[in-house]
Amino acid sequence: MTKDKKGDNKRVLITGNDAVVEGLCCAAGNKRRIVYAGYPITPASEIATRASVVLAKHGGTFIQMEDEIASIQAISGAGLAGAIAVTATSGPGMSLMSEGLGFAAMIESPIICVNVQRGAPSTGMPTWMGQGDMMQARWGTHGDRPVIVLVPNSVEETLLLTYEACKLSQEYLNPVTLMLDEIIGHMEEPISIPKLPPIPVNPDSQIIGNGHRFHRTGLTHDLESCLPSINPETQEKLVRKLLDKVKKNADKIIKYETYGSLSEAKVIIVCYGSESRSVKAALKQISGKKMKVAMLRLITAWPTPKDLICKLDKKDRIFLVAEINDGQIKIEFERYIKKGDVEGLNLMGGRIHTPGEILEAVERLI
Amino acid sequence: MDISQHPYAELLRKEMMPNIWCSGCRIGRIKNAFIEAVQHQGYNPDKCAVVSGIGCSSRIAGYLNLDGIHSTHGRAIPTALGVKLADPELMVTVMGGDGDILGIGGNHFLALGRHGKDLNIICMNNYGYSMTGFQHGPTTPFGAKTVTTSGGNPYAPLNPIAVALAAGYTFVARSTSSHPYHLVDCLVSAMNNKGPSFIEVLVPCMLFERRNKIKSLDALFLEKATIKETLSQADIHQNAFSEEISLGVFRDSQIPDRPAPAFAKAVKKKAGKKPRVTFKSKDSGIDYMQIRMEGTGGQGIVQGGKTMINAAMNMDPKLNSTLIKRYGPEMKGGSCLTDIVLSSQPVDYPFVEIPDLLIMMSGLITKERGGKVIVNENGTVVIDESTVDLSLLDDLADTVKIFKVPATQIARENFRVVVANNVMMGFVCKTTSIIDKNCIKAAIVKSAPPGTEEMNLAAFEKGYEL
């Protein structure tokens, strides 16, 4: 942490990728061990670069694994052994990690997985942004699993949400995915690094080496003993219990930002990540014109703020979902909006809409 | 007799018994040998962890009353590595089969040798995928019949010992489930070795026996295998039951010393002290300004942008700013630009739409855009006349201020081409006076690679004096 003579937090110029590592250091303090296991991939490589230098100072461990599958498995193990366990990757790596994410959810390992999204599918555009992994983040494993996904839109928020991800993963003993995109990952902004309390280990969790002598398995297992027990009854109990962790606490987990008056708006622009910066810039440009437009920015992409969406649903109200994919989060709004309309504003990746393009779309609707 | 009086009871999960293994399977013996070894070593069971993958042998983790993870197929080694990294005090053992460790997890098996962490890998080789009905695997002998090679296996088997030796494991041994005392010896030695240890344990599978009309592999192992004190290159070889099998320790060596993680940082410190530049901060009066620096990769476009934004922060610490760089996949020679937005309010849209200040170090981007230079009507263009075709500026409005400087030429003649961006920066500072001179100099010192600060500052001064 850089401080000037007065002891105030001095602002430092860092990228979103750097901010992930700073967020981890905040969460660890000097109390917790961080284990970072990753595999190089554009545009997330800088996270590993910084982690390899910074974590050693914080008593953490950085290891470059042989592939993404190994990375996620290593942190699943490290999470069970009491570390702040984290990996960072981009879309192709995320696809390889799918099985591991499901495994981590099943064994209730508190891990953090950062996905710096690129233009996709496949190798796509490694150095250009995209938001096409939103549905993968929700459904990209076999079976049902509880999912928490956070989407920052600035360097500072990346730091804070990394910290938040550590907290949520401990609280719910579940993987938390942090979805950056290439713009947020590579953009530099001056931020002051806050002093935050270290995140303690969940007292209810069993840590390897602490004498619990517990067994964790990816097989369907008994809730009490965690030993394999393969029958429909335990499956029902187990999966419901896992899902309920997030379902029943959705209100506590969900965060969003609004700009303008949602209750008066005729058009609500729904957005997240770097795209939301464009939306906000556009709304600021028309703030004097009394157009009934407001912004709803999802900070928690999953679980979906279902109650909020249903509350906002109104006849003649249009939800314009602006995102850099073919309408992945739009699908989620279409599920819940019964009275109003849902429209999409989409690009396939590489860039975000300009504020001008957003305004054009709004004007078309009003 | 009550099961709790059994000598292994302390390390077994009674509630998991009976086990799932077929009668005639000898994996249970390996489990018992492991318990013997742990007890022999006098380890605190609370500090022993077992990680396994998927398969018959991987079920051992569930029967041991230790901290255990029964992970996904093939991924036991990385999972165990994560546990070890999080808590280096633990004795971590990986239990797996040949398919798990050498087949699907082969890459992890190779990488552990390189990583050199103290894990014990026990690979139970039963020559195929037993849990799924005996398909052929990486170690299935040539010609052997399995469910998926009913006419005989056409693939050559992999030799786990040879691979482990090549991969850099510091302890490598072969044993069988039919030689329990030898196996315990091997396990104890593996636990004592401080590097990655690998033991191949041959184990009979009745599915394999049945399909290949072998009466008893257990008896065959006893007949064909010899325990040897010293092993030679020839003993590594083993891929048919008709041949002799050599058991023993192929390697038991020290793990070489490795540099500490902070090594990279220590070298940097030697580079010497950075020159000090003092500057005064003030209110810049900038409300909203878009700056774009464009050129080709290798010209220091990103570095120049960083200097600019750091300088702006030096001048007015309250100023909000963003910096975005754009470049293609190639590091050198491709088009490259840096967008900087300075604002008194938080910056929303981080890209430059119409720059107020455009610094052109090459015409590549403009040409890619169809020859149009985008700049604010009342803005400023600073152009490197030694690298940019000046005719590009012909269409600009008369209100645009244009400054020309042969920055690359000056840098080449006086310093090195790489500092052309700072010659440019000096010239920009003089002509536009947006940012105070010392603020830029301090920013240059901050971002210049160690040892090159003086040259970069001199380049800046050269540009400033023009």
Is residue A263 located within the same domain as residue A185? no
Statement to judge: residues A44 and A158 lie in one domain? yes
Does the beta-carbon distance from B13 to A278 stay under 8 Å? no
pLDDT category of residue A4 using cuts at 50, 70 and 90: very low
Note the pLDDT of residue B449: 82
Choose one of A138, A164, A192: the last residue of a domain: A192
Name the residue facing A215 among B62, B306, B348 (closest C-beta). Answer: B62
Q: What is the pLDDT of residues B53-111, one digit of tens each?
A: 999 999 999 999 999 999 999 999 999 999 999 999 999 999 999 999 999 999 999 99
Which pLDDT value is given to residue B298?
75
Q: State which H helix or E strand residue B294 sits in.
A: strand B288-296
Tell me whether residues B62 and A73 touch, CB distance under 8 A: no
Banded pLDDT at B451 (limits 50, 70, 90): confident
Q: Is residue A4 part of a domain?
A: no
Neighbouring-strand partners of residue B323: A188, B340
**Does residue B331 carry a pLDDT above 70?**
no
Comparing alpha-carbon positions, the chain B residue that sits nearest to A189 is B322
In chain B, DSSP finds a helix count (H) and a strand count (E) of 17, 14
- Contact list in B for residue A107 (CB cut-off 8 A) is 69
Domain boundary assignment for chain B:
3-252, 280-465
Model pLDDT, residue B382:
93
Residue count of chain A, please give it.
366
* Mutation for A interface: B44, B51, B63, B72, most A CBs within 10 A: B72
Does the pLDDT value for residue B145 go beyond 90? yes
Report the pLDDT value the prediction gives residue A3, as an integer from 0 to 100.
42
Q: Are A199 and A170 in contact (CB under 8 A)?
A: yes
Nearest CA in chain A to B82: A74
Spatial CA neighbour of A76 closest among A67, A65, A86, A68: A86
**Domain-located, residue A226:** no
Of A56, A63, A127, Cβ closest to residue B85 = A63
Statement to judge: residues A315 and A175 lie in one domain: no
What is the C-alpha separation between A324 and A360, in angstroms, rounded? Answer: 17
The domain boundary, picked from A192, A207, A229, lies at A192
State the smallest CA–CA distance between residue A263 and chain B in angstroms: 23
**Residues in chain B closer than 8 A to A66 (CB atoms):** 78, 107-108, 110-111
Across the range B282-288, mean pLDDT stands at 85
Determine whether the interchain pair A82/B83 forms a contact, defined as Cβ–Cβ distance below 8 Å.
no
CA-to-CA distance for A186 and A111, rounded, in angstroms?
A: 23
Percent of chain B predicted with pLDDT > 90: 67
Are A269 and A186 found together in one domain?
no
User: Could you tell me the pLDDT band of residue B204, with boundaries at 50, 70 and 90?
Assistant: very high
Q: Rounded mean pLDDT of chain A? A: 93
What are φ and ψ of residue B229, in 5° steps? -70, -50
Q: Which residue of B has its CA nearest to A71?
A: B78
Instruction: Determine, for residues A75 and B82 on separate chains, whether the beta-carbon distance falls below 8 Å.
Output: yes
Q: How many angstroms from the chain centroid is the CA of residue A301?
A: 7
CA distance B293 to chain A (A): 15
Q: A288 pLDDT band (50/70/90 cuts)?
A: confident
pLDDT band at B271 (very low <50, low <70, confident <90, very high): low
Contact criterion met (CB below 8 Å) for A229 and A220: yes
**Closest Cα in chain B, distance from residue A279 (Å):** 8
With CA atoms as reference, the chain B residue closest to A183 would be B324
The span from the CA of A24 to the CA of B205, in Å, is 48
Same domain, A188 and A276: no
Cα nearest neighbour of B111 on chain A = A66
The distance of B206 to chain A (nearest Cα, Å) reads 25
Answer with the residue of higher pLDDT: A74 or B330.
A74
Name every residue whose Cβ is closer than 8 Å to that of residue A93 and which is 6 or more positions away in sequence.
A39, A41, A44, A68, A71, A115
Residue of B83, B323, B353 with shortest CB distance to A81 = B83
pLDDT tens sequence across B299-321: 888 889 999 999 998 898 889 99
E-strand spans in chain A?
11-15, 34-38, 61-64, 84-89, 111-119, 125-129, 148-150, 176-181, 188-192, 215-217, 256-259, 267-271, 293-298, 300-302, 318-323, 341-346
Which residues in chain B have Cβ-Cβ distances shorter than 8 Å to A189?
Answer: 321-323, 347
User: Contact at 8 Å (CB) between B76 and B94?
Assistant: yes
Does residue A44 sit in the same domain as residue A135?
A: yes
Q: Quick one: what percent of chain A has pLDDT higher than 90?
A: 88
Q: What is the pLDDT, as a whole number, of residue A6? A: 44
Same domain, A141 and A268: no
Q: Which of A192, A213, A231 is the last residue in one of the domains?
A: A192
Find the CB nearest A82 among B68, B86, B351.
B86
Strand partners, B293: B338, B359
- A197 within domain boundaries: no
CB A1 within 8 A of CB A9: yes
Answer yes or no: is pLDDT of A274 > 50: yes
Read off the amino acid at residue B76. Answer: A
Domain that holds residue A86: 11-192
> Which chain B residue has the Cα nearest residue A124?
B329
- The rounded distance, in Å, linking the Cα atoms of B170 and B113 is 8
Answer whether residue A287 shows pLDDT above 90. Answer: no
Same structural domain for residues A21 and A167?
Answer: yes
- The answer as to whether A228 is a domain residue is no
Q: Which of B65, B326, B331, B351 to mutate to test the interface with A (most CBs of A within 10 A)?
A: B351
Read off the tokens for B281: 């901060």
User: pLDDT tens, A225-267?
Assistant: 888 999 999 999 999 999 999 999 999 999 999 999 999 999 9
pLDDT band at B262 (very low <50, low <70, confident <90, very high): low
How many domains in chain A? 2
Instruction: Identify the CATH homologous superfamily for domain B280-465.
Output: Pyruvate-ferredoxin oxidoreductase, PFOR, domain III (3.40.920.10)
Q: What is the mean pLDDT of residues A175-191?
A: 95
Contacts across the A-B interface (CB distance below 8 Å): 193
Q: Which residues in A lie closer than 8 A to residue B61 (C-beta atoms)?
A: 215, 217
The enclosing domain of A129 has a CATH number of 3.40.50.970
Instruction: Tell me whether the omega of the peptide bond preceding residue B18 falls within 30 degrees of 0, making it cis.
Output: yes
Examine the domain organization and report whether A172 and A303 are in the same domain: no
CB contact under 8 A, A274 and B310: no
Least CB-CB distance to A209: which of B77, B89, B264? Answer: B89
Band of pLDDT at residue B221, cut at 50, 70 and 90:
very high
A213: nearest CB among B65, B83, B306: B65
Asked whether the beta carbons of residue A65 and residue B320 sit closer than 8 angstroms, the reply is no
pLDDT (tens digit per residue) in B17-49: 889 999 889 999 999 999 999 999 999 999 999
What is the per-residue pLDDT for B261? Answer: 61
pLDDT higher than 70, residue B264: no
Residue A251 lies in a domain: no
Question: Among B110, B115, B327, whose Cβ lies nearest the Cβ of A127?
Answer: B327
Shared domain check, A25 and A106? yes
Closest partner residue to B329 among A52, A79, A127, by Cβ?
A: A127
Q: Predicted confidence band at A96 (pLDDT cuts at 50, 70, 90)?
A: very high
A219 contacts on B by Cβ (under 8 Å): 70
Instruction: Let me know how many helices (H) and strands (E) chain A has, helices first.
Output: 13, 16
The answer regarding whether domain B3-252 maps to CATH 3.40.50.970 reads yes
Q: Is residue A20 in some structural domain? A: yes
Per-residue pLDDT, B265? 53
Q: What is the pLDDT of residue B266?
A: 47
